[in-house]
Structure 1
Amino acid sequence: MLQGYGAAKIIWRISTKAKRCIIRISAKEQAVLVTLPKNFPHTQALAFLHKQAHWITTRLEKLVQTPRFTIGSKISIQDKDYLICHAPDRKGGAWLENECLFVSGDPSFLARRVENFLKQYATKVLAEEIHQMAQTVGLHPTRLDIRDTSSRWGSCSSSGRIMLSWRLVMAPFFVRHYLIAHELSHLQHMNHSLQFWKMVDRLTPHRQQAESWLRHFGAILQAVR
């Protein structure tokens, strides 16, 4: 069910697994997502939504300011800023050169080519970073998948398969380090128990800094395209 919230939309969802009312911002859908437990009173949900009005408005305003994959925009790739430059007569798709991310061909395909380049670049970078940390602690994920996700930055299955968002290649190193430590810790603890968090803190010193960054800028990073 959709309902307007200013210029944005609200998507109401009922979940049998939810134990409380949860509000989050979906950068991909440009919407406020409200997840409710089954039979949760709608009046209480609306009251909770209004109570979070400032938080919602602040994050929606950040989404409006989100940079795009357009000529002249700047994006961060592995902790370095690059200017997106169009080279229509050159070949190669997209590549890094000096302080520019050059993109060839028709400008109508520019955003897609930037995204494809970043996905390939992320596959290489994140694989190297997760391998480095895994080797130092003797953990061995069975597989690494790089995907485009709208609600989570990573996951780890019971079979040892780790997934990370390609967008992390645009996040600071301390964020990548924390999220890799988080998913590697799930190889031993498939929960968020005290033992799990102790292991995360052993693997990375960046937990608090990274979680703070994700709270403030995570939605913006998910919306970049």
Structure 2
Amino acid sequence: MPVAKPVKPAKPSLIQGLQRALQLDFFNDLFGSNEVIVENRPAAPSSPDKRTENGTDSTTQTRKRQILIQDQVLEYELRRSKRRSIGFLIADEGLRITAPRWVTLANIEQAINEKQHWIVSKLREKRELTNKRIQATMRWEDGARLPFLGKQLTLRITHQARVSIKHDDQQDILHITLPPDFQEQQLKDRVKHWLQQEAKCVFSQRMPVFAQRLGVSYHSMSLSSAGTRWGSCTSQGKIRLNWRLIHFSLDIIDYVVAHELSHLREMNHSAKFWATVESIYPEYEHAKRKLRQHASADLPVL
């Protein structure tokens, strides 16, 4: 007697599968995110089409395209990959989209139109940051201004054979002595070393204060030079703080310290985590907003 073959469930349509859930990833990224992932999980076709949108075979996975949104022509870079979602990223060169090979160009452009307000907003922010970076370019010379603990220090350079550096906190002056034939990089290196030493000193003073408030102990604290994170904490209690925080006011430093120590109670960013932060630093929301307003473009290149 022949056995009936089981009926396979119908595959979800591509449009149904492209019901998108916005996922902005802020985990340990206090600079803010310029990436949005548009989830789509329809079943992949059994025989993937290896042709490009114009119907020609190609091994090229990256290309430039244009689309009209909000009465302006937007150029974007389209990358194909094996991923199962459409990803939007505002990179230095503009909008970059990564999509599964089997998602049609029409669906990609539909996703662009749906997210056009986010895209335009992020591109505008990127341009503003670029302009700030150009305007904030620091000239490493006598009289230059250096951000330190929320204030501006004036560099005063004198020439002697012996190299030294001294901070006059009453007049907000950083006195530096260098050889007459010093190179700019020597000045940068000297200032960077001084800033890192100051950062280590300040962090070491603030960490025990908030650890005591929370009733926790940490294994160690070290400096970080991460490009996208102000701090990190491991389950072993090893905390790293970005030395560039020394440029900012003490309330911002305290917020990051409280943030990382709170991870010793909650290794996530849940409501319970933020309640823990608030319990030891009630003003954290204000400091968090201030930090969000800053970016690497605000800081001198060292």
Shorter-chain TM-score: what band? 0.7 to 0.9
Matched residue, 1:191: 268
Which segments of 5 or more consecutive residues in structure 1 lack a partner in the other structure?
A: 4-9, 25-30
- AA matched with 1:181: A
- AA matched with 2:134: V
SS at match of 1:21: strand
Distance 1:104 1:160 in 2: 40
Q: 1:94 aligns with which of 142, 165, 168?
A: 165
Matched residue, 1:60: 130
Distance 1:170 1:15, change over 3 A: farther
Distance 1:17 1:160 in 2: 35
- 1:1-225 equivalence runs, <5 A: 21-23=88-90, 31=92, 39=100, 43=109, 44=111, 49-50=119-120, 52-68=122-138, 70-71=140-141, 72-89=143-160, 91-97=162-168, 98-105=171-178, 106-108=182-184, 109-222=186-299, 224-225=301-302
SS at match of 1:96: strand
Distance 1:103 1:172 in 2: 23
Structure with the largest fraction of helix: 1
SS at match of 1:189: coil
TM-score by length of 2: 0.60
Deviation for aligned residue 1:206 = 2.7
- AA matched with 2:148: I
The answer on whether the counterparts of 1:22 and 1:35 sit within 8 Å (CA) in structure 2 is yes
SS at match of 2:294: helix
Distance 1:158 1:16, change over 3 A: farther
Aligned length, in residue pairs: 213
TM-score by length of 1: 0.78
Deviation for aligned residue 1:121 = 1.1
Deviation for aligned residue 1:178 = 0.8
Distance 1:15 1:75 in 2: 46
Distance 1:178 1:117 in 2: 23
Which segments of 5 or more consecutive residues in structure 2 lack a partner in the other structure?
A: 1-61, 65-75
Matched residue, 1:7: none
The answer on whether the counterparts of 1:145 and 1:163 sit within 8 Å (CA) in structure 2 is yes
Distance 1:57 1:116, change over 3 A: same
Distance 1:51 1:101 in 2: 39
Distance 2:144 2:123 in 1: 31
Of the structure 1 ranges 91-100 and 41-50, higher mean CA displacement relative to structure 2 is found in: 41-50
